[in-house]
Amino acid sequence: MDYLQGLNPEQKAAVLQTEGPVMIIAGAGSGKTRVITYRVAHLIQKGVDSFNILVLTFTNKAAREMRERINHLVGTEAKNIWMGTFHSVFAKLLRVEADKIGYPNNFTIYDTDDTKSVIRAILKEMNLDDKLYNQNFVYNRISAAKNNLISWQEYQNNEQIQADDFSSGRGLLGNIYENYVKRCFRAGAMDFDDLLFKTNELLKNHPEVLNKYQHKFKYLMVDEYQDTNFSQYLIVKRLAAVNENLCVVGDDAQSIYAFRGANIQNILNFEKDYPDLKVFKLEQNYRSTQNIVHVANSIIANNKDQLKKHVFSEKENGDKIKVMRAFSDNEEGKLVAEAIMFQRTTNGLKWHDFAILYRTNAQSRSMEEALRKAGIPYKIYGGLSFYQRKEIKDLIAYFRLTFNPNDEEALKRIINYPKRGIGNTTVDRIILAADKHNLTPFEIILQAPHYIDKAPASLSAFATMIQSFQVITKNQSAYESALHIAQHSGLLKDLYEDKSVEGLNRYENIQELLNGIKEFSEREDIEEKGLDVFMQDVALLTNDDKDKDPDADTVSLMTIHSSKGLEFPQVHVVGLEENLFPSQMSLNSRTDLEEERRLFYVAVTRAEHKLTISYATSRFKFGTLISCEPSRFLDEIDAQYLELDFTAKPATANNLSSFDDERNAWTRKSDTFSKPKIPSAPPKTTSILAKAHVPSPGFKPSDTSNLQVGMEVEHERFGFGKVLNLEGNKPDVKATIFFKEIGQKQLLLKFAKLSILSGNE
């Protein structure tokens, strides 16, 4: 019991409550991973068989970290726990039970690219307009249906769904869904959504299987429960129905994945499912300074839908949160780069101590440009991962086809790579013959002379090669099998002979993959080390596991969604502007706006010691410079925790830098804040973050018929500015004016009510 001594009272109580339904509400940085691991260790110390414990996470990285900690506490028993992501755990279960639902145990797992390739093929075969039936739209539609456990039959029979599809001109979506499911079934393949959809189907339609796993998994724990979708929720509810020893851990304030089906109501309504629920709140933040925690609390307090908690920190107060204003997105990047350089030099930090977080991937451009000019090394996360590179996918396709020759996507990918004289026309004839005779393409190839006129001899050679690989993998280790396939497929030779820089890089990537397989073959913490097991691990990698080097000394750039679960000593959150963050699409719905606010909360709570927030008053969008207003979220922060840095000057030919720095004149008190409203459109009033302008004594609009470029003017709301441009004909002349507090605006003169301060005749 010594390990319990390191827990605070609430953490300890949550660990000791092992029986019955439990909900642990874990604030940001509150040590939830420690609580989960100690709880598992405590169960084992009490005598619970590790085979009877199921722990579900959302990343393999989290599962590995937990298993390592549990192993440190209780020893080798940890390896017997069923622990991993929802997809990896239930892929493992389906490998055992797949025959019950008509699938082979060696089914292939399709990634997003594979899925979209199948959809493209179906759209082409059905001669559908790829603009109306965009592959991404179709993919998302099918994914959403599966996550809500709607089969293709139910999809086609649902009157509301059909009415929506026909009204949008997409009445054939149900047929596409049906064809997609049947195509995957024929190929012996499941996509990511199927791993949960088919598990639900299995547990629903096969009571003996449900009963087996209900009694096997006597204790269930679910991490990040706020991120579960309907399909995941139902699996957990079914498995826990007998023993009800279910512990869910999460934070409703960090529910940010509604766009991929997560339902915050799963955690908000958990008590309705389990009335005798025990609730524990982990409210002490061990990560961040007090000022950062206070800011986070003041932000999330504006959400109506939440489980109330009071997160606090006992660390030092720390620096106030700096808010920087830039006059353009490029200048914002420059300010961020300068701040990082200054902090690193002043405080002796490493580059990897800094992170730049943004709402959309497109915002990385101005940040990258500024960092490059400053000579600051950086890395963007969420880009093309190692396992998405063409040469890697090519070799893995050979592995996939070896274990599952029915895998049509793998077959099409490598049947003529390296080139062996099997062109697209031959491949199309193979696919057509397979459809006609209700066989798989590989079965057609095995008997090509019977089904295809003038079938090239290379088809038979290709089939023989794949069959030889199947023999090799039964007798050799994962590494030996992979090396043999890489060599004898011709892929390694083809890459080696390409002496271009790109060719050498691709060859080195294949070598790196083989090195990874060798390392996998030599691991002592796993029992099954076949190439098929390695392939499943690769197929189920989450974004958190791909292509990240924790030792690289670079500034991290990523979207806020990608940053969840991470922490950095210093964090810059950029682009806090209306219509960007919160996004324009979120402004018509309180529910969507609250999710945007939770996203801001996640961004703020990534910071350990210093947090900087920035926004620009103008930004290029689709090649046009637009005026921007500060985000409403900035108004929601308690002003006493902010330090405002409005010293940046616009560098323009119009001498706008002559404006005085009025940062110190910009003051406000927290009790002057108005509570946020939920408008149906973006607010038209200027944010309080731009200094509220008080019109000059005797302010009176001037006759603007003789207004000229370069004149200084005053607007009763926007303040003092300078005319940059005039366009149009009277009486509809438009003036582009740069106001020193809010940036550039375009006004129709006949309605502008401007007072001319200079050049007034």
Q: Taking the CA atoms of 101, 102, 108 and 114 in sequence, report the sign of the dihedral they define.
A: negative
Residue ranges of alpha helices (H) inside 217-281 are: 230-239, 265-268, 270-273
Active site residues: 32-33, 223-224, 254, 606
The amino acid present at 615, given as its one-letter code, is Y
CA distance 128 to 124: 6
Q: Is 31 marked within a binding site?
A: yes
Q: Is 457 marked within a binding site?
A: no
Sequence-separated (6 or more) residues with CB below 8 Å from residue 361: 382, 559
Q: CB of 409 within 8 A of CB of 118?
A: yes
Task: Find where tokens 């929601």 sit.
Answer: 636
Q: Is 182 marked within a binding site?
A: no
CA distance 669 to 685: 19
Q: Is 85 marked within a binding site?
A: no
What are the tokens at 2? 């010594």
Radius of gyration of the chain (CA): 30
CA distance 615 to 575: 5
CB atoms under 10 Å from CB of 715, counted, come to 21
Q: Is 28 marked within a binding site?
A: yes
- Mark 584-609 as b/e (b = at least 16 C-beta within 10 Å): eebbeeeebbbbbbbbbbbbbbbbbb
The beta strand positions in 474-606, using DSSP E, are: 555-559, 568-573
Q: Is 6 marked within a binding site?
A: no
Task: Find where tokens 């007072």 sit.
Answer: 755
Sequence-separated (6 or more) residues with CB below 8 Å from residue 736: 723, 724, 725, 726, 727, 744, 745, 746
Q: Which residues partner with 756 through β-bridges?
A: 713
The amino acid present at 138, given as its one-letter code, is V
Distances (CA, A) of 229 to 31, 262, 559: 24, 4, 22
Q: Is 390 marked within a binding site?
A: no
Q: CB of 707 within 8 A of CB of 692?
A: no
Q: Is 29 marked within a binding site?
A: yes
- Pairing of β 321-326 and β 642-645: parallel
Q: CB of 394 within 8 A of CB of 490?
A: no
Per the annotation, binding residues are 26-33
Per the annotation, binding residues for ATP are 26-33
